Every structure is written in structure tokens, then in C-alpha cells.
Amino acid sequence: EAGVAQSPRYKIIEKRQSVAFWCNPISGHATLYWYQQILGQGPKLLIQFQNNGVVDDSQLPKDRFSAERLKGVDSTLKIQPAKLEDSAVYLCASTLGLAGGLWFFGPGTRLTVL
């Protein structure tokens, strides 16, 4: 079974520029999550999708971050404009959405904002 795919793996941008990350979950997984992991910290949930609807975006900085999952499969996370403190690894994870279901994480995208 293919895993969670993410691209790009690395991205370097200047502050105030825009950037987008892509995630393709495991086929059939209804629930998709985006996490931000700042160096030296644990991942922090940014947003949770159930199919193409948002379940939880309480920790998403909505003034600069946006995410979508239009067809309930792939998802895109965008930052516009980026700040220095956005430098982090952005992890995508997916599950079937069942209680007790296993989580599968992608390899992450490492963003550096200069």
C-alpha cells in the first residue's frame, strides 16, 4: 500500500513570499491532518479535514494560512505571506476516520523562510 505523499520535500523562500504544500493521503482515507513542527518541538495540529469539510482549524493562523481539500482526496496548504517564524516541517497525516484507526504520516516538507 502506498504511503502518504508530500511535495516538495524542501522549500526555501524569502519572507513575505507565498508558498504551497501538497499532500496526497492513502487511498480511501477520509480524514486528513496538517501539522506544523518547529525545530525542537512536537508537531502542532493546524487543520483537520473529514472528506472535503473542515472539522478543526482552531489553531490555523487564518490571516496567512489557508488549506483546502476540494475533492476529498488531495490537500493543499498555503502560506501567504510567509514570516520567519513559519520556518518548520509541515507534516500531513491521514486515517480512515474510524475510532481507533491507525494514523499514517507523510515524510513532511521542510520550509525555510529567510
**Binding site residues, another protein, CB under 8 A:** 31, 33, 40-45, 48, 50, 55-56, 58, 89, 91, 93, 99-100, 102-103, 105, 107-108, 110
Could you tell me the smallest distance in angstroms from the CB atom of residue 74 to another protein? 19
Using alpha carbons only, give the angle 34, 40, 74 rounded to the nearest 5 degrees: 15
Could you tell me the smallest distance in angstroms from the CB atom of residue 64 to another protein? 20
Q: Which is nearer to another protein, 23 or 91 (CB)?
A: 91
Q: Which is nearer to another protein, 12 or 55 (CB)?
A: 55
Q: Which is nearer to another protein, 14 or 53 (CB)?
A: 53
Q: Which is nearer to another protein, 81 or 107 (CB)?
A: 107
Could you tell me the smallest distance in angstroms from the CB atom of residue 100 to another protein? 7
Q: How far apart are CA 18 and CA 111, in angstroms?
A: 11
CA-to-CA separations, 34 to 13, 14, 52, 114, in angstroms, rounded? 20, 22, 14, 23
